[in-house]
Every structure is written in structure tokens, then in C-alpha cells.
Amino acid sequence: AQKITQTQPGMFVQEKEAVTLDCTYDTSDQSYGLFWYKQPSSGEMIFLIYQGSYDEQNATEGRYSLNFQKARKSANLVISASQLGDSAMYFCAMFHFGNEKLTFGTGTRLTIIP
């Protein structure tokens, strides 16, 4: 069975510091995709970054980067120079090409402190 684990229910980080949100996954598939989404207090889901299982380089999108360690089955999100607007819930998710399912973790609530 596919599973995503986010072990940090909540984190507090000082503004301008970098932050790493942990995500580990479990799958026996060779082909899959990993996503990170941001959910601010308004509730919408915002796509941040994607990493394919065959991508050799870590994905980056502006201040977001995905630290992909395939052998360890981890896909941590790194936010550089955090801002107050980064305060939100963050979800890691895994996509399986075989059954087209997107499986989410339980999320990490990030709070940026001024």
C-alpha cells in the first residue's frame, strides 16, 4: 500500500530562516511523482513543487526546493528565507501512475514568527 508520512504536526520558525518540512513515503512502484501543496488559512490548495521518481536533479521553484533522496524514500520540502506569508498547512503527496491515485500525508502546520 502507498503511504505518505509527515512526522511534524506543527513547526515554528523565525522569519527569514530556512525551514525543512519532512516527508517520507512508502511504495513498491518504480514510477511515481511527489508533490508539495500549501494550504493557507483561507483553505485553498496551492501547488508548490513536483519531483518525478526518475528525475535525477532535485526540483526547485523559486524559494522552494525538494530534497529528494530516493534510496531513503524521502522528499523533504525546503523553504529558503521564510516569510510571514509562508504560514500555512503543507501537504506532501505521492502520485502513482498505475492507479492514478494521489495519496496525501497528514500535513505540517508551519507558523512563521516575526
- Residues in touch with another protein (CB under 8 A): 4, 32-33, 35, 37, 43-45, 47, 50, 52, 59, 91, 93, 95-97, 99-107
Which lies closer to another protein via its Cβ, residue 40 or residue 81? 40
Helix, strand or coil, per DSSP, at residue 81: coil
Element (H, E) at 11: strand 10-14
Least spacing, CB of residue 15 vs another protein, in Å: 27
Q: What is the DSSP letter of 86?
A: G
Q: How many residues does the chain have?
A: 114
What residue type is assigned to position 40 of the chain?
Answer: P
Which lies closer to another protein via its Cβ, residue 14 or residue 106? 106
